Structure 1
Amino acid sequence: MNAVHPARLAPHLIETVPVVSVVVPLHDEALNIAPLATRILDILDGQAFELILVDDGSRDATRAEILGLARQDRRIRVLVHDRAAGQSAAVHSGARAARGRIVVTLDGDGQNPPVNIPALIAPLMAPRRDPALALVAGQRVGRRDTMGRRLASRFANGLRGWLLGDRTRDTGCGLKAFDRAAYLALPYFNHQHRFLPALFLRDGWQVAHVEVTHAPRLAGRSKYTNLGRALVGITDLAGVAWLIRRRKRETPREITPEAGA
């Protein structure tokens, strides 16, 4: 049997070390994940990337769907939580398992169009990028949500920005790209994903913003309600404000024995 030259293999069959890891947290998104994953693979085709699909304790056919997708494309990896732990836990699990230097996140309901991914990763992949830049946060324009959700989000973002000074008008946008090592050094807690700009700034990193598009949910219903988000948001906001106030930064200076003090 003749061996196949690596150059003749399909790009996704050649083992490469990914530069970008796309992490998608999923909870009961069986109807949405196939078209979303297909679009991500198409957008990033030809680049060194992997797609990590994290099933956060789904009760529908999400796990079967993503396992089927992974069998068809080796660029797809599957992680599972046996019990639902929340979006932040799913993102954190994906980032810990990621092999790429850059991690991209987006929601699994199809409301974060993958066409925005290249614009998110570009600042972090630029040859002359500022080494202090660690997060590029998407900022939704033309939101396709109900008026109630838009008003609630506007109020929450205004209050958060006033208390935390994170200079971000839309931290609820799931489209983000960040340096994996810097992210994993942040304090981790439930609902962490809503406060990433403030947490990166707290650790001395720079944050950039990119306007991104928004789309209607492909299928199913949102897992969040305005009241539920408000109740947990108050406690989380107070906790993050405390973390920022308690942060102490030291600038170490290395000296040699010969140099003395």
Structure 2
Amino acid sequence: MSAPCPATTTPALSLVVPVFNEQDNVEPLARRVHDALRDFSDPYELVFVDDGSSDETPARVAKLADGDPRIRLVRLSRNFGHQAALLAGLEHARGGAAVSLDGDLQHPPELLPALIARWRDGFHVVQAIRRVPVDDRAAKRVSSGWFYTLLSRVARIRVTPGAADFRLLSREALDAFLACRERCRFNRGLVQWIGFDYCEVPYDAAARHSGRTKYSYAAMLRLAGDAIFSFSSWPLRLAGLAGAFLSVAAMGYLVWVLYAAIAGLAITGWTSLAATMLLLGGAQLIVLWILGEYVGRLYEEVKQRPIYIIRSGSAPARRECVRNADGSG
């Protein structure tokens, strides 16, 4: 059985769990984590990151922490989103390796020994890959597969379908990951971008233990946008190719109009002309939207606002991380 891990002890393993309104899940999650690591002889810590919950989640985690020195609570000042909360937890991880998993128990803690075993085999990034459950939404499954295929082609990073934020990072891989300071984050892509020895461990996702999912289709679309625009200039190239094609088509149409005028042919087709103008106007708006996505992300970067703000919790493992809300580091 693992020994307790007080604040003065450096743990061998950190488990990072971002939570948002998961009051009914934190206690069974902690219990299952401890059961899964019963044979893990080294000290470990369980870091819960409360992402601005409005229910009893922080109170219940604090109660768990009062009776178990292995449990730590980091509270953010408001809801910054799952990717930011995950980053906050990883920056507070003190272990020689860090495992991130969701707080809804769809990432089974019973897989932890398998992830640790692959880490001890020498792998720096051990990614858990979800097998598709029978009750998964077909539309989500198909769109997710298309998205990852597209991302691997345009962004020169390979993200396996079924890969979520359930993974183990060695300390070397974690330090490299934390060195990436962009604000619009797609953590799954960053994990692939840093390199290091990589392997995958499949698992069967369980149904959510309690509550409802926080990832709506709108949130998934925003995450997909962050992935595409953060890792590829392909949308700009596509806009350039579309502009070149439309320019060639316009030149061809102009040649035909001049020929028809010289030959005395009747030039009709106001409908086609109006359709052409609408097509060109729509193409221009699409190009402006693509440029706006890149400019907006540049705007977020140059403001240099912190990715998250700590309301309460121990100091992060990396001292250059964001300050607490009261200004202390």
TM tier, smaller: 0.7 to 0.9
Q: Pairwise mapping of residues 144-159 of structure 1 onto structure 2 (< 5 A)?
A: 144-159=135-150
Q: How many residues align?
A: 226
Moved over 6 A (4+): none
- 1:11 Cα offset (Å): 3.1
**Preserved contact between residue 135 and residue 177 of structure 1 (Cα < 8 Å):** yes
Instruction: Name which of 184, 192, 195 aligns with 2:178.
Output: 184
What residue number does 1:248 align with?
A: none
Q: Secondary structure at the match of 2:111?
A: helix
Change (3 A) 1:225 1:78: same
Q: Pairwise mapping of residues 182-221 of structure 1 onto structure 2 (< 5 A)?
A: 182-201=176-195, 205-221=196-212
- 1:235 Cα offset (Å): 4.0
Instruction: Name which of 137, 143, 147 aligns with 2:127.
Output: 137
**Preserved contact between residue 5 and residue 11 of structure 2 (Cα < 8 Å):** no
Which blocks of at least 5 consecutive residues in structure 1 are unaligned?
A: 1-9, 243-261
What residue number does 1:258 align with?
A: none
Instruction: Name which of 175, 182, 185 aligns with 2:166.
Output: 175
TM-score, normalised relative to structure 1: 0.78
Q: Secondary structure at the match of 1:12?
A: coil
- 1:22 Cα offset (Å): 0.3
**How big is the alpha-carbon RMSD for the aligned residues of Structure 1 and Structure 2?**
2.3
What residue number does 1:11 align with?
A: 3
- State how far apart, in whole Å, the 1-side matches of 2:222 and 2:82 are: 16
- 1:60 Cα offset (Å): 1.0
Q: Secondary structure at the match of 2:59?
A: helix
Higher helix proportion (structure 1 or 2): 2
- State how far apart, in whole Å, the 1-side matches of 2:182 and 2:113 are: 27
| Structure of higher CA gyration radius | 2
**Preserved contact between residue 21 and residue 49 of structure 1 (Cα < 8 Å):** yes
Counterpart amino acid of residue 23 in structure 1: V
Q: Secondary structure at the match of 2:164?
A: coil
TM-score, normalised relative to structure 2: 0.63
**Preserved contact between residue 137 and residue 171 of structure 1 (Cα < 8 Å):** no
Change (3 A) 1:134 1:183: farther
- State how far apart, in whole Å, the 1-side matches of 2:221 and 2:175 are: 30
Instruction: Name which of 81, 84, 90 aligns with 1:86.
Output: 81
* 1:102 maps to 2:97: yes
Change (3 A) 1:231 1:23: closer
Identity across the alignment (%): 31
What residue number does 1:33 align with?
A: 26
Q: Pairwise mapping of residues 112-123 of structure 1 onto structure 2 (< 5 A)?
A: 112-123=107-118
Q: Secondary structure at the match of 1:229?
A: helix
Cα deviations by residue, 1:179-214 (Å, 9 ceiling, x for unpaired): 22222123443443232343223xxx2322111221
Q: Secondary structure at the match of 1:80?
A: strand
**Preserved contact between residue 166 and residue 198 of structure 1 (Cα < 8 Å):** yes
Q: Secondary structure at the match of 1:173?
A: strand
